[in-house]
Each structure stands twice: as structure tokens, then as C-alpha cells.
Amino acid sequence: MDDEIIEQIRQQHVDNYRNGILDIIDNNSKALVEDIQTLIKKPPLEAMDIIKTKFLSLAKKNKIILNTIELDNILDEFRGHLFEVSTEIGKMRVKSLNDIINNTKLDDNNVIKINKKHFVDINKEMKKKFKTEFSSAIDNFSDSVIVVFNSDLDDKIKEEIVKDLIKYIKGNYFKQLLDNFDIKILVKDTTLINSVKEQSERYLFTLNNSRVLNDLDN
């Protein structure tokens, strides 16, 4: 077989391998976004809505009836903001990892490798953005939540209830959310490392054993 044709086939094999890794990264990151969003989205049962339940509990303690329709709207906005953030985080991750792949030279049986060290900086940036945007979402929530109270209710009582709620959201709620956030990332990072390794092993096997790529017919 002509050397030029063999080289074209070999290059196509390399390109398919690289593009396959990029697809794995894209799908893995989309799955991560979905996992993060499961932590944020409205639960199927009202009793599972931790923030709403906490708010209603504080209101009940003070013998106050809240406008639950307005509360649902505000919570939807809060969650919607974090949904957008999770999508942005996924895009950040894809870009960072794609840069690694595209900058890897593939020659002399060299393969693409993704290790734990490759996730250090991007995971730090992702978590930083999530924390920042969570704080922003909480500020918007705090400013908007006043509409759930009756207008004739004493302002001090309103402020005290909101203060207690925000303290809970920024404290226990956010801590648990971050813990789960970290777990979701760790699982997807580990899955990606293994998937890339498997893809690389298949690539090398074909590269080293294909009759066409090694011109074994000549």
C-alpha cells in the first residue's frame, strides 16, 4: 500500500481518537451538570423542599401565614439562577479539559492522559464560581422574599424571620450542598479518567495491531 495512503489512514485514526476523547469529555461534563442540577431542582414532594419547609416552620413558630404562591415563584428564581450557573460550570470544565486534549501531541505511540492533577485548577474555579453565584442568588432571594408576608405585619418580625432563614441557607443548607457538589465532581472526574484510559488502550491496540496501519501486507 502506498506510504502516503497509509499515513492518511494513520492520521485519520489519530483524529478519530482525539475526537472520541473530546466527545467523552463533553458527555461526561453534561452528565455532571445534570447531577449538580438534581441537587438544586425542586423536589417532587413539597415536604422534601428543605428551604420552603424551613421557611414555613419559622412562620408557624411566629404564627404567621405566608403567601406560598409568591414563595414558590421566588424559590423558582433562586433555583433557576443556580441552574444557569451549573450550565456555565459545565462549559468551563469542557473548555479546560479540551485545551489539554488539543495541546497533546500524538506521535510515537503517545496517548492522551487525564490525571487527577488536571482537575485541580478547574475544580477550584468551578467551586469558586458556584460559591460566588450562590451568594448572589441568596442576596436576590433575601431582597425579594419580603413579598411573601402580609403588608401589615411588623417589619421587625419580617426581618427576624428572613434573617433566620438566610442564616440557615448560608449555613447548614449550603454546607450540605457543597459537600454533595464535591462528591458529584469527584465521581465524574474518576469516571472520565477511566474512560479516557480505556479509549487510549483501544487506540493503541488498533495502532499497533492493524495490518493496514502497519502495512503488514507489504
For 153-198, how does the pLDDT look when each residue is reduced to its tens digit (9 = 90+)? 888 888 999 999 999 999 999 999 999 999 999 999 999 999 999 9
> Which segments in the chain show pLDDT lower than 70?
1-2, 108, 210-218
Contacts of 122 (CB under 8 A, 6+ apart): 92, 93, 96, 97
Question: 3-class DSSP state for residue 110?
Answer: coil
Task: Give the DSSP H or E segment for 154.
Answer: none
Nearest C-alpha neighbor of 27 from the set 82, 81, 98, 80 = 98
What are the angstrom distances between the C-alpha of 170 and each of 9, 14, 61, 91, 109? 56, 48, 21, 26, 50
User: Which of 22, 23, 28, 24 has its CA nearest to residue 185?
Assistant: 28
pLDDT at residue number 1: 58
Q: Can you give the pLDDT at residue 151?
A: 75
